[in-house]
Amino acid sequence: MTEAAELPPAPEQAREVFGERFADAVRYAELLAEAGVQRGLIGPREVPRLWERHLLNCAVLSEAVPEGVTVCDVGSGAGLPGIPLALVREDLNITLLEPLLRRTNFLTEVVELLGLDHVTVVRGRAEEVMGTLPPVHVVTARAVAPLDRLAAWGIPLLRPYGEMLALKGDTAEEELKAAATALTKLGAVSTSILHVGEGVVDPLSTVVRVEVGESPGGVRFAAKRAKAARTGRTRRRR
């Protein structure tokens, strides 16, 4: 049996990034390295690079998120990027959206253990919760799917003039070009590639930003959203 990889000490940058929540970030890293590996949420080979490749890489996404907004982390998995973002930004109201029970169980345990009162865990797929979850200002995602598919899931969850922030790697520009037509149909009005984490991570974290207009998801989802709203009003009357 292969011996479990050891979690390295937190780098100095982590103290600066997580500030007063540094101890909680360490505990989260320990949970990922232990329960996260045991439950198959992350691979054991990721443990030695948890800080640089995962926690810090996700925490610096905060540079691109406006103050005091609502956020939905689609396909949150083990909580990346949602939980690092929550640790550095208590001004945000964050929903961790994840369809798999074993992952939502882990996320719920982490949220309770770390006292993240501004974080809610919801089990479900993005395409299933539209109309039941209030539309958000920002959708985040990391390593969930190619951009065109991710956008089809995430953009309909946005409120008008919201934005999707997708952490991507070297393929960001290529994916953005390939998804251009799909993004336009989904109501995107502007796209850009950001590089965040100067002085914290090397290489910098790459973020694809997709901003939408007054109809997130386009015509098809406007109709679906209206139907969901009518259904919700009918249920409330009962």
Binding residues for S-adenosyl-L-methionine: 75, 80, 126-127, 142
The three-state secondary structure class of 202 is coil
Cite the annotated binding site by residue number.
Answer: 75, 80, 126-127, 142
HSE (side-chain half, CA atoms, 13 Å) at 88: 22
What is the rounded distance in angstroms from the CA atom of residue 238 to the CA atom of residue 236? Answer: 5
Q: What element of type H or E holds 73? A: strand 70-74
What is the rounded distance in angstroms from the CA atom of residue 212 to the CA atom of residue 159? Answer: 9
Hey, how many other C-beta atoms are within 10 angstroms of the C-beta on 222?
15
- Radius of gyration (Cα) for the chain, nearest Å? 18
β-partners of residue 94 are 71, 119
Which letter, b or e, does each residue of 98-113 get, where b requires 16 or more Cβ atoms within 10 Å of its Cβ? Answer: beeeebbebbeebbee
Contact of 136 with 162, CB cutoff 8 Å:
yes
* C-alpha to C-alpha distances, 234 to 102, 130, 131, nearest whole angstrom: 33, 16, 13
